[in-house]
Each structure stands twice: as C-alpha cells, then as structure tokens.
Structure 1
Amino acid sequence: MFTGIVEARGEVALMTRQGGDLCLGLYASVLEKEVVRVGESISVNGACLTVVKQDGARFDFDISLETLDRTNLGALEIGDLVNLERAMIYNDRYSGHLVSGHVDGIATLVDRRAAARSECMIFRCKRTLAQLFAEKGSVALDGVSLTINKVSDSTSAVDIEVNIVPHTLTVTTLGSLESGDSVHVEVDLVARYLKRLWDCQR
C-alpha cells in the first residue's frame, strides 16, 4: 500500500524480455541509502512492483505479462525517468491518499496550461472509469496523489482536470509531460469497491 507521495525519481537502466515477461532495472541513488530488501514492494509510476535484486543504487524488478497488458511500462526506454515510492508505514503520517499500486487504466494528457505558478492538466480516460471519478475526489496519476478539480463526461471518454503545484512539477515526472503523453490511472479505492457493491446489487 502506498500514499501517492513520490519519494524519488529513478532512471531506467535495463529493459530485458524474458519469455514474454520483462526485467526492468532502475537506478535510484536516493533509495541506495535506505534499507530496501529483496521482496519489498515499490511503486514505479504507480504500479506496484517487487524488488528481485538490489546492487547499490540499482534495483531490478520482474514485470508480468498481466502488468505489461495493463500499463505502459513496456514502452519505457533506457534513460527514462519514473516516479518511485516505497510502501507506506502504517504507524506513520501520510499526506496523500491510499494507493494500492494496481493500475486501472491509461490516461492521455490532452491539455496543459498555466494556472498562476501551478499547472492545470486535463487527462482523457476510457469511458468505463467515468463512474469512479468525482469532483474533489482523489486519483493517482503515475503514482502521484492528486485532487480532481473537474470531471467532464462524453459518450466515448471522460476527462479529469487536476491542478499540479510547483513542488510536484519539480519532484515528479509530471512536470515533463507533453500533450499526447500517457500516464497510469488508479481510481480511489473507496470508489472502486462501492461500484463493485453497486454492480452486485443491481
């Protein structure tokens, strides 16, 4: 379980296909100082991955075919930066919202504009996620906890508008996004389970 507060950015160092799966290697000098054990979960752009090997500042992960199908991790290239967060500590304070690291879909950046010192970004998601978004609700985009300012529905998609403050633009990968870029979406956990309960009772 995570909180959506990114701790560091890692750099892609290895992308190796292994029988349909993928071995992903990342350099993360900030995490080198931490005690990160093999088997520990780390959020990589919002996707929960398991550390299978550590060598100093280098961390390796195995990515299953299921994860490759649901995320854009397979499209990463050597040198790309990714958002990283270690699993939350339950007796510690957390500033974001509960994030499981289970990606619900892919969103595309369709508009970005300045809003004072912040940036207003609009992301387009598949229509099936529309019921899971609410104004002033929470969403995780590439593992970053954000508040939804506005939800705009259409017959084929749903747009969500978020405001990103200067600090978040600086310490995460969101600041480098351009129109057409894709990000991972994880809806609010409560919304996910409420929808499931509603569907079962219909």
Structure 2
Amino acid sequence: MFTGIVEEIGTILVANTGLERDNTLRIGCKLATSDAQLGDSIAVNGVCLTVTAFETDWFEVGLAPETLRRTNLGELKVGSSVNLERALAAGRRMGGHYVQGHVDGTGEIIAIEPDGESKAITIRVASALMRYIVEKGFIAVDGTSLTITRTTDDSFGLAIIAHTQAWAIIGQQQIGDTVNIEVDILAKYVENIVRFDRKLLAE
C-alpha cells in the first residue's frame, strides 16, 4: 500500500526490457534503499515492484510481461527519471490517498499550460477509465497522488503546484509523454457493489 506522496526521483541505470524473460530495471536512488530488504515493495512510477537486489545507492526490480503491457515502464531508458515511494509504514501519517501500485492503464499528456506558478496539465485516457474519474476526485499519475480539476469525455485536468513540479517527474514531462494511471480503488469497489446489487434484484 502506498499514499501517492513521492519520496524521491530516481534515475534508470540499467533498462533490460523487451525480452522474452528476465526483464529488469536498475534504479539509482538516495532514500529508497535506506532501510531496504530483499522482497520489499517500492512504487516506481506508481507501479508496485519487488526489490530483487540492492546496494546503498541502487536497487533492481523484475518486470512481468503484464507490467510491461499495462504501464510505461517498457519505455524507460538509461537516464530516465522515475518517481519512487516506499511502501507505507504502520503508524505514519496518511497523506495523499490509498494507492495500490496496481496501474489500470496509461494516458497521454495532451496539454500543458502555465497557471501562475502552477501548471494546468490535461491527460487523455481510454473511455474505460474515464468512468472512474470525477472532478475533485483522487487519481495517481505515475504514482503521484493528485486531485482532478476538470473532466471531458476522454480526458481530465490537473493543477500541478510548484512543489509537486520540483518533487515529482510530472514537472519534467512534455506533451506526448505516456503516464501511468491508477484510478481511485473506491470507485471500482462501488461499481462492483452496484453491479452485484442489480444482479440480485434481477434474479
């Protein structure tokens, strides 16, 4: 479980992807390995991954084919920046929102406009995801917990404050970039409950 509060920006040191097996990433970091153990979970661009090897300033993770199909991790290259967050520790304050690290799909940045010190960013996603996205609701974009400012039939808007621009990779991203999207799990639970209620009423 994560909160969507990015702890640091890491750097891809080795990217072995697009292989039939043994797809891996090695990620340079300062904080993420400070208390790491083999088997720990770290969110990389919002994707919950398992630490398979580490030293003081890097860690490695394996990537399943499903992960490469559903996320933007297969597009990463040596030197790419990634958001990193360690799993939530018991007793810590819960900032952001409940983020599982289970990416639902990807979106494309289609507009970036200045808004004072903030940036207004628009992201286009598949219609299958838009049903879970509501104005003023939560969403995780590359693992960053953000509030939705507006919606259309196929896109949503975000207001990215100066702090978030400096602390997460969304401040570096450009129009056309692919981002990982995890919708609010509560929306999916509600949909499932309603579906089963309708099924019971129909029987």
Confirm or deny a common fold (TM above 0.5).
Answer: yes
Q: How far, CA to CA, are the matches of 1:105 and 1:19 in structure 2? A: 22
Q: Are 1:184 and 2:176 matched, yes or no?
A: no
2:66 alignment partner, SS class: helix
Q: Which amino acid aligns with 1:28?
A: C
Q: How far, CA to CA, are the matches of 1:149 and 1:21 in structure 2? A: 40
2:157 alignment partner, SS class: strand
Q: Is the 8 A contact 1:22 1:74 kept in 2?
A: no
Once the two structures are superposed, the pairs formed by residues 1-202 of structure 1 within 5 Å of their partners are 1-17=1-17, 19-32=20-33, 34-153=34-153, 158-202=154-198
Q: How far, CA to CA, are the matches of 2:176 and 2:135 in structure 1? A: 23
Tell me by how many angstroms 1:4 deviates: 0.3
Q: Is the 8 A contact 1:151 1:159 kept in 2?
A: yes
Q: Which amino acid aligns with 1:123?
A: I
When the two structures are superposed, what TM-score results if normalisation uses the length of structure 1? 0.94
Q: What does the per-residue CA deviation read over 1:97-137, in whole Å, with 9 as the maximum and x for residues that have no partner? A: 00000000101011111111111101000000121011110
Q: How far, CA to CA, are the matches of 1:165 and 1:66 in structure 2? A: 33
Q: Is the 8 A contact 2:139 2:146 kept in 1?
A: yes
Give the structure with the higher percent strand.
1
2:99 alignment partner, SS class: coil
Tell me by how many angstroms 1:196 deviates: 2.1
Tell me by how many angstroms 1:55 deviates: 1.6
Q: What does the per-residue CA deviation read over 1:122-159, in whole Å, with 9 as the maximum and x for residues that have no partner? A: 10000001210111100000000000011111xxxx21
Tell me by how many angstroms 1:21 deviates: 4.1
Q: Which amino acid aligns with 1:92?
A: R
Q: Which amino acid aligns with 1:45?
A: N
In structure 2, list runs of 5 or more residues that go unmatched: 199-203
- Which segments of structure 1 move beyond 4 Å, counting only runs of 4 or more? none
When the two structures are superposed, what TM-score results if normalisation uses the length of structure 2? 0.93
State the number of aligned residues. 197
Q: Which amino acid aligns with 2:60?
A: D
RMSD: 1.2
Q: Is the 8 A contact 2:32 2:85 kept in 1?
A: no
Q: Is the 8 A contact 2:99 2:140 kept in 1?
A: yes
2:31 alignment partner, SS class: helix
Q: How far, CA to CA, are the matches of 2:92 and 2:58 in structure 1? A: 27
Q: How far, CA to CA, are the matches of 1:116 and 1:16 in structure 2? A: 40
The percentage of counterpart residues that share the same residue type is 37
Partner of 2:201: none
In structure 1, list runs of 5 or more residues that go unmatched: none
